[in-house]
Amino acid sequence: DAGVIQSPRHEVTEMGQEVTLRCKLISGHNSLFWYRQTMMRGLELLIYFNNNVPIDDSGMPEDRFSAKMPNASFSTLKIQPSEPRDSAVYFCASSLSPANTGELFFGEGSRLTVL
């Protein structure tokens, strides 16, 4: 099992540029979660999908952020335009079920730095 795969692992970009983070779920998993981790705010849930459908995006900071699941195994998180305050580690996680009873499997994260 390859686990949850995220790319890129590190991204450095300038303010105003578009950033796209990618995530490949574990085969057979049907729930997908995007989290953001910062020193100040800890781990924040941005959005989650169940069976490719966005269930709750209330954690998405603002309209500059968008997430999609074009198919059952892949997701993208896009920030356009990026700002320095978006600098964080972004984690993708997948599970076999809604996460309250199931284990979340996390990727290794994408560290974003916006200059």
Q: Which stretches of 41-89 are DSSP H helices?
A: none
Nearer to other proteins, 3 or 16 (CB): 3
Residue for token pair 């500059």 = 64
Q: Cβ distance 57 to 50 under 8 Å?
A: no
Query: How far is it, in rounded angstroms, from Cα 101 to Cα 77?
Result: 25
Among 91, 94, 112, 114, the residue binding other proteins under the rule CB under 8 A is 91
User: Which of 42/70 has CB closer to other proteins?
Assistant: 42
Residue 45 within binding range of other proteins, rule CB under 8 A:
yes
Build a one-symbol-per-residue string for 6-25: x at contacts with other proteins by CB under 8 A, - elsewhere. Answer: --------------------
Among 43, 61, 80, 83, binds other proteins (CB under 8 A): 43
What does each C-alpha distance from 74 to 27, 38, 53, 59, 115 come to in angstroms? Answer: 10, 24, 12, 20, 28
Chain positions contacting other proteins, by CB under 8 A: 4, 33, 35, 42-43, 45, 48, 55-56, 91, 93, 98-101, 103-104, 106-109
